[in-house]
Structure 1
């Protein structure tokens, strides 16, 4: 898979698979850097890196097209994001995911992230519609971090 930065024509439908809020996506696209993963010229994944503090970047959205899931592309994108952050001189990469995002929590920890906190009621405070994943209400944001 080839990973490259894009500056326009963002794959909004793919970004919406990881974050159902168009408003929040637009906000972080304006401040962050969007990267796509391509296989055979087809966009199969996307992630956004957003500088949050000196030497710290946040992975705010990562998504893989459904028919490519479970084949290692998600892990390749996370590793790609980590490598991009290192190349850009960051010392810390952070991310947040829903308490109900069981597969994502496992993936991030396999890629070296560690749980560092919980933002209680994040999703109920920032999203108008209820989010349910794996039969679990998505209420809290689990915060993870990796030192680079």
Structure 2
């Protein structure tokens, strides 16, 4: 994935040229302060955190072994394409048994969409969620004294 930057320019543009009529007088107005640069990696991290916030999504330490985790093959896996203040995300997760897959995928889609809108200010075109596997997460057995 190439490292791109989404630029959300808040300065007004008229006929392809910046509107400079109000420079200086309204610079304290939030809409005229400049632009916001968001790296693809930041968008990816926001989407990962949003997916992990959903109950029923298994975190990386419980969904893969140490080797896959070290090689960057842990779940959730997120790939985001950001261009012109818009984003399309592909999210691959591991779910907990017996969570219904369609319900889990919908909740992850909603959480990722909302966080990308709120935290990054991006327009979300699509969030595709794939459930790679469903696993049973067992509680750590209590230690016994021998």
Which range, TM-score by smaller chain?
0.3 to 0.5
Answer with 1 or 2: which has the greater Rg: 2
By relative contact order (CA 8 Å, sep 6+), the higher-ranking structure is 2
TM-score normalised to structure 2 length: 0.35
TM-score normalised to structure 1 length: 0.35
More strand by share: 1
